[in-house]
Chain A
Amino acid sequence: MRAVTWHGRGGVRVETVPDPTIQDPTDVIVEVTSSGICGSDLHLIEVLAPFMTVGDIMGHEPMGVVREVGREVTAVKPGDRVVVPFNISCGSCWMCEQGLQSQCETTQNREQGMGASLFGYTKLYGQVPGGQAEYLRVPFGNTLPIKVPDAPLDDRYVYLSDVLPTAWQAVQYAGIPQGGSVLVLGLGPIGDMATRIAKHLGAGQVIASDVVPERLARAGATA
């Protein structure tokens, strides 16, 4: 298959790599139809470069169609449309049951002293092949993929992988009183989405700042 791969601080390349295969009976193989590029992907070709290996497959914001399932997978079947969360969580450990999937005790990277594994995100987080590729192996097929309806376009659902829950959690953790005020610093994808979610959840006054004129204009336009 073709995949976006890491090649040092110069940037990424698109290369032909082996197709992923079912390795555990709860794995599924997803044919990727959309996959976001995240601000944190840029860290991999900048400050986190020492934790990457040439050829690592990038990406942690994918969605697509299930093509193959391991013999113990019952929750999804070939043809199902799914979004894949960026954190790899088992869905059944103590942390997952608390709603702390980023601290999943099944996939925690203890030797690195870090939390749950992530798709396409360095040795610190498990060096798991990412989703900017034609196909992706997804573990925990019964609990990790998010089944979504067949319509409309991918744009509607793909952000469930990272942008929407990250911005939603940021707003929830901000504890904005009903009708209260919030300042959002930074209008990249997360900040932009956080302003929309804050308004949706009842903030009375939303103020946002950035240094990039296009981003200020974009956020001002959705007001």
Chain B
Amino acid sequence: MTVIDSTDQADVVARVRDLTDGRGPDSVIDAVGMEAHGSPLATIAQKATAVVPDVIMERVMTVVGIDRLAALNTAIEAVRRGGTISLSGVYGGATDPLPLMRMFDKQIQLRMGQANVWRWVPDILPLLIDGDPLGVDEFATHRVPLEQAPEAYANFRQKKEGTVKVLIQP
């Protein structure tokens, strides 16, 4: 597997092209939506302006929204012509403009939505019973008792101490 530092989003597109015969990958999975910082449910926020304090709306529409679109635009630019983009996690964006001309011209397919857990259980559970091909046994970076949950949340929020996945074990 090749990993790329995406601090510079334009660089990601160029590097990925180089790695895929100049075409771009068949598929792009945008998993940034699941990340801690960003991905407001902007559609919801839109519907709920009456109950959302201005300061939050402002954040939704500016800082956070920009981060979110950066990842999605990277996906649209990076994917090969005729390829597929899969969005996981919570995305909103009633007001976020998408480059539809570019998407149409590249003939991009787009799928998304919250996981349908039971749809996939019969495919996944047998893998876990036979062994550990996906490395779940070592997947958690931290396991903490219930009483330490507040510190674990804080570390996760600040991406401190290498926190990727925390299991609370009451």
Contact = CB atoms under 8 A, between A and B. Distances in A.
A190 B137 CA distance: 16
A171 B35 contact: no
A164 interface: yes
Interface in B43-60: 44-45, 47-48, 51-53, 56, 59-60
Interface of A is mostly: mixed
Interface in B128-155: 128-129, 132-140, 143, 146-147, 149-150, 152-154
With most chain B CB atoms within 10 A of its CB, the pick from A134, A155, A214 is A155
A160 B60 CA distance: 31
A181 B44 contact: no
For chain B, give the interface size range.
35 or more
A76 to B, nearest CB: 15
Interface stretch (A20-28, A67-75, A201-209): A201-209
Contacts, number: 344
B34 A39 contact: yes
Interface of B is mostly: mixed
Contacts of A46: 36-37, 40
A38 B119 CA distance: 21
Given A164-B134, A165-B124, A174 B170 contact: no
Nearest to A153: B137
Contacts of A174: 27-29, 84-86, 111
B89 A190 contact: yes
B115 A87 contact: yes
A100 B117 CA distance: 9
Nearest to A149: B129
B116 A176 contact: no
Nearest to B53: A50
Interface string B18-50: 011000111111111111110111001101100
